[in-house]
Each structure stands twice: as C-alpha cells, then as structure tokens.
Amino acid sequence: MKARHLMSIAATVVAASACHDDPMAPAPKPAISATVPRGAVQLAILQQPVNTDGSVTFVVRVLTNDVVVSSFQGNVTFEPGTLDLVSAKTPDSKDGEAYFLNAADAAQGRIRFAAFTPRAFNGTDIDAGLEAFRFTVKPHVAIELSRLAGTFTAVGRETGVRMAADLVLGSSGASDALSYLVAR
C-alpha cells in the first residue's frame, strides 16, 4: 500500500512538472508591434548592438495596429554635436513602394524621411514593423544623452486621408533591438 501511495505521488509530480514551464526561463519577447495602441501608428527607433569600431546603427521602423498606411514622413532628431552621421540608407524600393531620405541637416541634429506606396505598406503590424530607414552614427556621448527622438509629420491611410494626430505616435528614445528597453 505504501509503495502504491509513493508511486501515485511520483506520478503526480512527473505529470505536474511536465505541464509547467521552467519558472526561471525568460518569458518570450512579444513583438514590438504589440505595444502600439489599436488604430494607431507609431515610430520606433531600434538600436542594434554596438559595432566593433564603436559606431551604433539604428533602424527606424513604422508600426501599426489595425490600420492600413500608404504614406508617411517625419524626422529623427538628436542634440547637435552628440552624434556624427556615418551612413544612412533606405530599404530598396519594390512593389510600388518609394522611400526617401534627407540627411543634409544631420550636423544640425535632424534626418528627414518619407515613403509612399499606391496601395498599402505590408508588414507594419507584425513583429518589428516596416523599416523606414537605418542610420549609423559615431556617438560622442552616451546615447541617452543625445536626446534621440523620432516624430511623424504626416501619415496617410490607404484611402489618402491623413491620420488624426492623436493616433500618430513618435519615439521618445531608442529601444534596444534585443529587449525593447528604451534609452531616453
């Protein structure tokens, strides 16, 4: 009887441990697009790991939640003198999409960007959204002291109608591409 009771306890422990995840295992990271409020569009600046030469690459992304976007324009700004622009690049235009970038004012702390498509951008609502552009800088201060931020100046829906300002959200800092923690 005692052996049967011990076997019953052992079976219960094995079954229970098979049903529960390791409590010390990290929780899976949700897609950054899951942070966008419903019906909104948001700009995100994702910081990549620091390059071996000390430069840092940022990827500017457009994220949506339950809204279709066909155009956007905006600015990435930072405190002049804190970051030297090394390079800036838009994604290759395809499927009727066109991307534009103006880094002429980077020394003054501003990079302008825009994109449009006659239909709709695909992928703004999944995972890390749509890449608007990427840029690499040589920082002269800690990134959080550069006051890096991103804003949209206009976002258009697939109907051609401009989105309401309260549904267009910017980025008040750079998020780490691995953890999405924001450096402000």
∠ CA 181-32-50 to the nearest 5 degrees?
45
Letter string b/e over residues 89-117, b meaning 16 or more CB atoms within 10 A of that residue's CB: ebeeeeeebebebebeebeebebbbbbbb
CB 123 within 8 A of CB 130: yes
- Domain segments of the chain as ranges: 35-183
Instruction: Give the pLDDT of residue 30.
Output: 55
- The domain made up of 35-183 has a fold known as Immunoglobulin-like (2.60.40)
Cα Rg, the chain, nearest whole Å: 22
Distances (CA, A) of 162 to 21, 39, 172, 177: 46, 13, 22, 29
Instruction: Give the pLDDT of residue 149.
Output: 95
- Cα separation, 181 vs 165, whole angstroms: 25
Instruction: Give the pLDDT of residue 79.
Output: 97
Instruction: Give the pLDDT of residue 6.
Output: 40
Place of tokens 């990435």: 76
Per-residue pLDDT 10s for the chain (184 aa) are: 444 444 444 444 444 444 445 555 554 445 666 788 999 999 999 999 999 999 999 999 999 999 999 999 999 999 999 999 999 999 998 888 999 999 999 999 999 999 999 989 887 777 778 999 999 999 999 999 999 999 999 999 998 899 999 999 998 777 765 444 444 3
Instruction: Give the pLDDT of residue 25.
Output: 53
CB 59 within 8 A of CB 46: yes
